[in-house]
Amino acid sequence: MLNMVLDLLLKQIFGQPFILMALIVLIGYIAMGQKMSKALTGSIKASIGILVMGMGSGALIGNFGKLIVALQTSTGITGAGLNTYPTMTAGYEVMDSVLGAGTGASWGIYTLLVAFILNLIYVALRKFTRIRAVYLTGNAMIVQAGISTFLVWKFLGTGMLPTILIASVLTSLYWGICSTMLIEPTHLITGADFTVAHQQMFVDYVAYKVAPFLGNPEDDIEKKKLPTSLSVFQDNLIATALVMFISVAVIFLVIGSQNIAWLRGPEGLNQGGLANDIIFLIWISITLTANIYVLLAGVRMFVGEIMMSFKGISEKLLPGAVAGVDCAAIFAFAPKSVVLGLLFGTLGQVIGLILLLIFKSPIFLVPGFIPLFFDNATIAIFANKFGGWKAAAIICTANGLVQIIGSMLAVKMTGLTWWQGSADYATIWVVVIAALKGLGSMLGIPVA
């Protein structure tokens, strides 16, 4: 009887992400004093969102995996994609293959909760910690907590409780310190009392500090006129499709007709009716874009609900704390910088990919729109504000290059076929991975 109860609680309820997320949202809304109907509606939406995310992620990883197999078969090169959410789910899949279905996501959600509580504690103790920002960008929080959970488990071989605790400390310190660093420059850009809380915070700060040495803030891109044709890049869905089309076209050129035929066949993507290579290329590009769209739709469903819950709790407990919000919140203050960042970030990533080929890297990367666009757009805003458009161009080109090289190192160490790809995850988090790997090796812990 006891075993049945434990199985129900630990595996069937708290071990199932779609139920666990619903319970968290339900408790949060009740704690805020919301009506039960509102709490139930929010929890159901969050539960559905988790399942929709899984559908999109599973399709994306499955379809993209076929491209990677074709690339490896034709060249011997290990392929990996750069995108945020698939990295989290890819890590969970590795954990689930060892620990059982649903384990990775459940541990990741617990890490999210503990890290958020720790962030609140740091702010409550800001007289001593000097941390003033509460990180509230839910989509980024969920990804970062999940990746931290995977990294600690993989390299330290720890069980559930120590994995969650260590991952929570790492994640919450990153949230609190880096978002607090951006309070002042964000205020200077927007005039508002919030800060940027995303996945390129460290590099945003570097841009803020370095830009004045690379250009003149009076040479502001926002004062210049841009061609209207560039406005297409401000549509996330279209821009993602374009990035996918270019990436898949490059893969087609590399793998050759024989492997394209395999991709078209029953062992590949099972699209024998698409005999024309160009039509097949377009189908793959749009299918991958659609997979990402479904994944993001699921994320938006549960992130919106859990962040309402988290935000309400933090405001009640810590009035006066600075809210850390999505980087997109500052895009309206510098729309031309957004386009500038995307263009020069793309240039930097292309240079990085060419260097991987020139130096015969055993790992080749497929760029993703989320780290390419959101990172470089945000970095460009900080760089342009404090150093003008030339500084933004230089810094974003360098960042694009670093995103490729740093991500290649991360893929090599983690063994995943996806990596987060964002600026901070190609810089300071690569150092964190190396430190965890070194610590695990020193302690004689086998890598999972």
Describe the strand order of the beta sheet including 363-366 as a list of residue ranges. Answer: 363-366, 78-82, 418-419
> pLDDT for 196-218, tens place per residue?
999 999 999 999 999 999 999 99
68 neighbors 331 (Cβ within 8 angstroms): no
Between 113-117, 256-260, 271-275, 310-314, the lowest mean confidence (pLDDT) is in: 310-314
Q: What's the gap between Cα 197 and its chain centre?
A: 12
What does the alpha-carbon distance between residue 377 and residue 401 come to, in Å, rounded to a whole number? Answer: 15
What does the alpha-carbon distance between residue 24 and residue 138 come to, in Å, rounded to a whole number? Answer: 13
Q: Is the pLDDT of residue 74 over 90?
A: no
Q: Is the pLDDT of residue 15 over 60?
A: no
pLDDT of 227 = 67
411 neighbors 147 (Cβ within 8 angstroms): no
Average pLDDT over the chain, rounded to an integer: 86
pLDDT of 303 = 65
Between 53-57, 199-203, 207-211, 396-400, the lowest mean confidence (pLDDT) is in: 53-57
Between 8-22, 69-83, 187-201, the lowest mean confidence (pLDDT) is in: 8-22
What does the alpha-carbon distance between residue 104 and residue 94 come to, in Å, rounded to a whole number? Answer: 8
Between 101-115, 398-412, 422-436, the lowest mean confidence (pLDDT) is in: 101-115
pLDDT of 234 = 58
pLDDT of 90 = 92
| pLDDT tier for residue 59 given thresholds of 50, 70 and 90 | confident
pLDDT of 310 = 63
pLDDT of 165 = 97
Between 116-130, 146-160, 229-243, 251-265, the lowest mean confidence (pLDDT) is in: 229-243
28 neighbors 306 (Cβ within 8 angstroms): yes
Q: How many degrees, rounded to 5, is the angle at CA 51 between CA 50 and CA 54?
A: 90
pLDDT of 14 = 56
Q: What is the DSSP code string of 89-151?
A: HHHHHHHHHHH-TTHHHHHHHHHHHHHHHHHHHHHHTHHHH---EEE--HHHHHHHHHHHHHH
What does the alpha-carbon distance between residue 438 and residue 155 come to, in Å, rounded to a whole number? Answer: 8
What does the alpha-carbon distance between residue 417 and residue 439 come to, in Å, rounded to a whole number? Answer: 23
Average pLDDT in the 364-371 region?
81
111 neighbors 175 (Cβ within 8 angstroms): no
DSSP helix/strand/coil, 321: coil
* H or E element in which residue 155 lies: helix 138-156
In sequence order, which ranges of 7-102 are alpha helices (DSSP H)? 17-31, 36-75, 84-99
Q: What's the gap between Cα 413 and its chain centre?
A: 18
Between 38-47, 112-121, 201-210, 227-236, the lowest mean confidence (pLDDT) is in: 227-236
Tally Cβ neighbours within 10 Å of residue 369.
23
pLDDT of 31 = 74
pLDDT of 114 = 93
Q: Is the pLDDT of residue 283 over 70?
A: yes
Question: For the chain, how big is the Rg over CA atoms in Å?
Answer: 22
323 neighbors 217 (Cβ within 8 angstroms): no
> pLDDT for 315-367, tens place per residue?
677 777 788 878 877 887 887 888 788 889 989 998 998 999 899 888 888 88
> pLDDT for 36-47, tens place per residue?
998 899 889 888
pLDDT of 233 = 61
Between 18-22, 73-77, 306-310, the lowest mean confidence (pLDDT) is in: 306-310
What does the alpha-carbon distance between residue 427 and residue 243 come to, in Å, rounded to a whole number? Answer: 23
